[in-house]
Structure 1
């Protein structure tokens, strides 16, 4: 297990699903954890309670991360509460599934704003502290849709592919500063977001089942503890896409 004592993690979209499990996994490894959600909810309160029960500090921020000002404000509030951010997981996202002929410019802009632009805004906000520490771990939650197109739509696939390109750019520029940047590309993971989409079936996956949030969180923890892996996309997809 990675040793994260003394580190502060920020997990966007950290109130439910994959983000929630990553936040708890980091807390189990000794990190203090800030989560960012779109609005206050019982889910956020539950995550804070679990982190506190593990003996770690916790903080919740609520913001529209597709807005650059709100994203910077959320990072500032988390840093004021817990200290400089040294671990960032860009997990905030939506999967707005619609038939192809019904995807509008509004749908496109929403997917790009929440799934892709938010990661840029938050990353830019945490980088000064990471560069000052000469240590950082940044993880982008992409998707198998970035590689295969997926089943949601081209707006979603483009937003997730953009995360991989952005990851490559940051990784190349920050490699000599003690900051690694990687992506995780899950396929179909058992979350409320997945259950809400009845078009998605487990028989799409060669392994024959949906993935578990714990299986993604364990990858995030591995990347948090490894200083030699950077610029990589780790595929947690049950064999749907092989590289």
Structure 2
């Protein structure tokens, strides 16, 4: 298998895109450490599925916005698995409001989880990847970080920041044979999307050329590809998975 012997960390992996990524990496041979904050039952269920595949898996409760939590999780993964080869930053939240009604708390929470959380984990794994002279980092951004979205100034700003972070890390770690890329989903059928108002979902559906929402597994397939040696000459890229929603 493409990822036999590789050890991966996936943040926000108890539900949605994160859980699909964790399972797909495991199907392709990787051991997976699942980060979660609230959904312990779901996280442990994903671990059980991975173990059934013959891979190793651990679930670690950690607040991605907390610098010390991120470092502690990476240290735990190294202790359990021996190394970290793959990091997929996925954890995120929506705290939507138009800019004139958005609270400071809504802004700060979205930026802390959706952007600082990515920095925290990259900062924790970068020395390890540099030392072993190899590694893959994939950051989940959004098409709304490329175009903006009404009512999502905090989310869009964070997702745009992820793109800048991805390109910079790609430059900084290239000499260490580390690839860093971003995946930008459009409307994907997840728990987060189910919480959207129906009017907003219908409006988004009219933008999608293929006429349907994407599935988490379709995002996961691209993430896994970017973590394999088949993608060794791809770095600093932002690849959309949106059914033509944003062209």
Question: Which TM-score tier does this pair reach, normalised by the shorter chain?
Answer: over 0.9
Displacement of 1:77: 1.4
Q: In the alignment, which of 233, 238, 242 is matched to residue 243 of structure 2?
A: 238
Number of aligned residue pairs: 241
Partner of 1:200: 201
Give the direction of change, closer, same or farther, for the CA distance of 1:151–1:174 in structure 2 (3 Å limit): same
2:43 aligned with 1:28, yes or no?
no
The DSSP-based 3-state class of the residue aligned with 2:70 is helix
Unaligned runs of 5+ in 2: none
Question: Is the 1:58–1:82 Cα contact (8 Å) retained in structure 2?
Answer: no
Partner of 2:136: 137
Partner of 1:78: 77
Question: Is the 2:98–2:150 Cα contact (8 Å) retained in structure 1?
Answer: no
For normalisation by structure 1, the TM-score amounts to 0.96
Bigger drift between 65-74 and 16-25 goes to: 65-74
Displacement of 1:151: 4.4
2:109 aligned with 1:113, yes or no?
no
For normalisation by structure 2, the TM-score amounts to 0.94
Displacement of 1:240: 1.7
Give the direction of change, closer, same or farther, for the CA distance of 1:211–1:93 in structure 2 (3 Å limit): same
Query: Segments of 4+ in structure 1 off by > 4 A?
Result: none
Counterparts of 2:126 and 2:99, CA distance in 1: 37
The DSSP-based 3-state class of the residue aligned with 1:9 is strand
2:211 aligned with 1:212, yes or no?
no
Counterparts of 1:220 and 1:106, CA distance in 2: 31
Unaligned runs of 5+ in 1: none
Partner of 2:58: 59
Question: Is the 1:14–1:20 Cα contact (8 Å) retained in structure 2?
Answer: yes
